[in-house]
Copies of this chain bind each other. A is one copy, B any other.
Amino acid sequence: MYSFKNDYSEGAHPQILNALLETNLVQEEGYGEDQYSLKAAELLKERMNSADAAVHFLTGGTQTNMAAIAAFLRPYEAAVAAATGHINVHETGAIEATGHKVLAVPCAKDGKLTPEGIQSMIDAHPDEHMVKPKLVYLSDTTENGAVYTKGELEAISAFCKSQQLLLYLDGARLGSALTSKANDLELSDLPKLVDAFYVGGTKNGALLGEALVICNDVLKADFRYMMKQRGAMLAKGRVTGIQFLELFRDNLFFDLAAHANAMALKLAETIKAAGYEFLTPPISNQIFPILPDELLSVLHRNFQFFDWEKVDDHHSAARLVTSWATKEEAVDAFTASLKEKVTK
């Protein structure tokens, strides 16, 4: 059985494990004040062309989202997210557990937010009898594998500034987004467009780790207090620092994401060639082909993946996820199974 269930089925890229091994017995400061973490933060700031950004390393997406959002908001302020947004659905109420409502904007299949959607939430919350929309949460790629264009993100950014809303970008799959053929954003564009974002390591080759980047000066103060309080500060902070150092020392972060995308694209093209449609355009490392249920059950014999949603009585969309670790042979085996069934 080969798994296309997610992008965290394996451990870390070998180069990262090697770096952990090589540095293992060097004595370092704890709690993220080690040389590796400090260097990794500097490196990221260089890569983003943003000397003033504040960079912190945390261990997972839910943790990063909740520590950041809770740090940025006053008690009665709310986050605005797409209805399908990770913070709205898949974090077991982590944001609410910090006291903040998530305002869910109905959205299209692609899971993207728009200025109009955000405006609708502002209109619906005019006074102190309702929460105050204050922070806009989006993710790139979205939950459904879509990628924001530079124009789309600029429009949202300008809208947020005009409405004094903070803009926060969840980059759990930022690598896949930035290396997608549909993308025209650079990593260095982000600090100009958002107030804070995170660069996801866990889903792009790290054992664990997300790099939170706070771009807006007003939001920077005392974030280490917040990390410690929310259980997000590792005693051996080196563990995340070393990994990000490897990911950004050369081009590893982008190479790994490009591989994931390439594997997804290869899957998508063969599926397309076999005559199938997709729920949303296949442009990142999550793709959603619509396949006959009968074919799906055949494929499930040798492959693990999620059946995403029923499309009609005989077809469902599957979710196939590739990663830095996806083997081309597995992709080929999958498409072979698919073609074999099709031609029978």
Contact = CB atoms under 8 A, between A and B. Distances in A.
Nearest to A4: B27
A74 interface: yes
Q: Which of A10, A27, A63 has the most CB of B within 10 A?
A: A27
A151 interface: no
Interface string A88-104: 01111110111111101
Interface in A150-196: none
Nearest to A226: B76
A65 to B, nearest CB: 8
Contacts of A2: 27
Contacts of A60: 231, 233-235
B236 A208 contact: yes
A120 interface: no
A115 interface: no
B90 A130 contact: yes
A157 to B, nearest CB: 24
Among A98, A230, A232, residue most surrounded by chain B Cβ atoms (within 10 Å):
A230
B11 A17 contact: no
A136 interface: no
Contacts of A89: 130
A275 interface: no
B27 A225 contact: no
A90 B129 contact: yes
A214 interface: no
Nearest to A17: B21
A28 interface: yes
Given A6-B30, A99-B97, A91 B229 contact: yes
Interface string A229-253: 1111111101100000000000000
Nearest to A304: B27
**What 9 pairs across the A-B complex have the smallest Cβ distances?**
A63-B231, A11-B24, A76-B225, A92-B229, A93-B101, A93-B131, A8-B235, A92-B228, A9-B27
